[in-house]
Amino acid sequence: MSTLISDLEYRAYRLRLHALKATTKAGSGHITSALSAADIIAVLFFHVMKFDLTKPDDPSSDRFILSKGHAVPIVYAAYRELGVVSEEELYTYRQFDSVLEGHPTPRFEYIDVATGSLGMGLSIGAGMALEAVRTDYDEPYTYVLMGDSEVAEGSIWEAAQIASYYKLNRLIGIIDVNRLGQSTPTMAQYDFKDYEAKWSAFGWHVITVNGHSIVELLDAFSKAHHVKHKPVMIVAKTVKGYGIASIEGQEGYHGKAFKTEELDNRIAELRQRFSKAASIKKEEPPTQKRPQKKERKAPTLKPVQLPFGSGESIATRKAFGIALVEYGKQVENLFSLDGEVKNSTFAELFEAAFPERFVQCFIAEQNMISMGVGFVARGAIPFCSTFGAFFARAFDQVRMAAIGRAPLRLVGSHAGVSIGEDGPSQMALEDIALMRTLPSSVVLYPCDAVSTFKLVGAMIEYVDGISYLRTTRGATPVIYDAREEFPIGGCKVIRQSTHDVAVVVAAGITVYEALKAHEELQKDDISIAVIDCYSIKPLDSKTIRALATKSKGYVVTVEDHYIAGGLGEAVGFSLRNDDLHISSLAVDKLPRSGTSAELLAFEGIDADAIVAAVKRDISSNITRIRRKKIMSTALE
């Protein structure tokens, strides 16, 4: 035992030294937050956790999440000490070409998820722990290290209650209570009764320890491993900057690296504090090569018989539920996470078919998204569903998932004003804008059951980033043949003729308004083409451009969403340099309660509005001639 303790004290000293040097070299970084966590990390990485450096993805291995992402130098230090990061590489911390970023991202092979926006780690850990239970890998532990400032984030308490609800006893949290936030002491400071009361009340087994005592930490983890039916929270009393006496526990040192000229003195302080550990001489760890990250492989789906056909009317939200069940039959690691609206999103169909792969996340969207990230990190394919409006509640979590390149599948129901009487609080009107803005995201908005069904399959196969499916509340007629294909990035030309005078680009509910407008205009002998733009990102601008050019150059976009960041801007921006005239109909007034038809009319996105826009545009006699822009002229 005493050898173990002295070894771990040695490791903790070495981690501090590595972190100190790395941050000083970088000229920035959160050294004081790293120092308070050094002993915890040493105990975890050099004794408690079971993992294989050659197989970071092994589902039987324990997992670690650094929720207080800014303290990452101490984790890089651990991998340095384990031999998979060389001293040279450690000093690339925060440099452009380094995978050792300022906050952890999966660009570094041993990081599963991106952190840095605080308060998400415990939810991610809960997702990992639950996935392990649900897939019979119930042996591994998931460890989550949090800061004490981030415990103010509500998402932490969402995770707290869900972990306790699902009795995740192999989820072990550690709070590094160093008392100081970025700019001020935390609310609870060193009030450990407060921590104990809160976490106990939330159903956790709480162990309070001195976070700088290797002995107490070892004891705490040992006790934690014997707890049944409850998650465990280790509340560790620490000191910010611990090890460098001159700044220990002082305000004003958050996120500040030491100056190069100070380094020798700081190292001397470390040696003085940890004289015993510092006197130990061990050989440098041999540098090991890191295994390459496995490419995320998309499952290949077998064709599925669609359980509906033309003539039927089915809400796309219901088609999503049906599709999830059908694909769930062949994709074993498909999960459904729902935010207590399963009877609205139709995730309830999946629950009925595969109860063990359905996770009720209750009304806690932030936790649902981060749990989804945890499921993804262990290789599962979760679909997170709620009202489209409520992804706004968890958009920081979605943003962080995108930074971690997690292929999270999101499904938002109750799109737009078409939901009617419930009013604006329940209407998804910003969701397309939110999801489009993320790198590598895919935004899908099908109008009928067939396209919805096919696109759910496309989402399963899409592994390069976030994919989002927007579904509609009301039933809509099936307009596509079951054999039709709907690739991501495509669109469908559903009406066209040789004498079209405009093309209407619609999606979801407005496709039916466009079809009505088409009929209406026919009565006046006006022909228009209609595009079902089911893939809003990527956008099939090539097809839209080609059809618009054939249709006298007039384009009308129409969407049940606010204009900024929506379909209209996407199309307008994409075709801005083309010789076209583009009118965009979108929600531009704050909506209210009313019938679906009243609201579509109020916002000017119904068939009448389309008819009026087409008539107005084509009668506008636009006769401008694009100036010749010739290099020689431009530079004259």
Element (H, E) at 10: helix 2-26
DSSP string, 106-161: TTSTT--S---STT-HHHHHHHHHHHHHHTT--S--EEEEEESGGGGSHHHHHHHH
CA angle 627/632/635 to nearest 5° reads 95
Rounded distance between C-alpha atoms, residue 98 and residue 342, angstroms = 43
Tokens of 575: 């075709």
Q: What is the DSSP letter of 620?
A: S
Rounded distance between C-alpha atoms, residue 149 and residue 170, angstroms = 24
Element (H, E) at 601: helix 596-602
Element (H, E) at 474: none
Tokens of 439: 């790198």
Identified catalytic residue from 365, 559, 569, 603: 365
Q: Which is nearer to a second copy, 187 or 268 (CB)?
A: 187
Residue 346 backbone dihedrals phi, psi, to 5 degrees: 70, 20
3-class SS at 556?
strand
**Residue of 95, 93, 89 lying closest to 285 (CA atoms):** 89
**Residue of 67, 71, 55 lying closest to 373 (CA atoms):** 67
Count of CB atoms within 10 A of residue 459's CB?
27
Q: Is 101 a catalytic residue?
A: no
Q: Which is nearer to a second copy, 89 or 269 (CB)?
A: 89
Q: How far is CA 291 from the centre of its chain?
A: 25
Rounded distance between C-alpha atoms, residue 100 and residue 94, angstroms = 6
CA R_g for the chain: 28
Compute the least distance from the CB of residue 275 to a second copy, in Å: 33
DSSP string, 484-535: ----TT--EEEE--TTEEEEEEE-THHHHHHHHHHHHHHHTT-EEEEEE--E
Rounded distance between C-alpha atoms, residue 232 and residue 168, angstroms = 9
Count of CB atoms within 10 A of residue 624's CB?
7
CA contacts within 13 A on the Cβ side of 259: 2
Burial of 263 (0-12, 13-18, 19+ CB in 10 A): middle
Q: What is the DSSP letter of 565?
A: T
List the catalytic residues: 365
